[in-house]
Amino acid sequence: MPVVQIRDVREDTVGRLKAKAALQGVSLSDYLRAELDRLAGRPTMEEYLERVRRMRPKLDSPITGAEAIRLSREEMDEKWERLIP
C-alpha cells in the first residue's frame, strides 16, 4: 500500500485531529485514512455541477427555488397561526 506523508502541519491542527480520532476510539492514522477515503469519494465541484446540469430537464418547475421557499414559509406561518391565534 502506498505511503502518503504531509509535512508542515500546524501543531494545533494535529492536536485537533488526534482529539477527533480519540473520540472515535481509533488511531490518528486510522482516522486520517477514513477521512481521506471519504474525501476521495466526494465529487469535485465540476463533477457535482455536471450532475446537476444533467438533472436539470427532470427538474423543470413552473416556480423558482426562491418562490418554493417563500410558499413553504407561508404555509408554515399559516400552521402556526392556526395553533397560536
Position 50, amino acid? E
Number of domains in the chain: 1
Per-residue pLDDT reduced to its tens digit, 8-45: 999 999 999 999 999 999 999 999 999 999 999 999 99
For residue 62, is it within any domain? yes
* Structural contact between residues 26 and 35, judged by C-beta atoms closer than 8 angstroms: no
| Most confident of the following: 2-6, 20-24, 68-72 | 20-24
Q: How far apart are CA 12 and CA 28, in angstroms?
A: 14
For residue 54, is it within any domain? yes
* Residues spanned by the domain of 72: 11-83
For residue 4, is it within any domain? no
The answer, yes or no, to whether residue 84 has pLDDT greater than 70, is yes
pTM value > 0.85: no
User: By percentage, how much of the chain surpasses pLDDT 70?
Assistant: 93
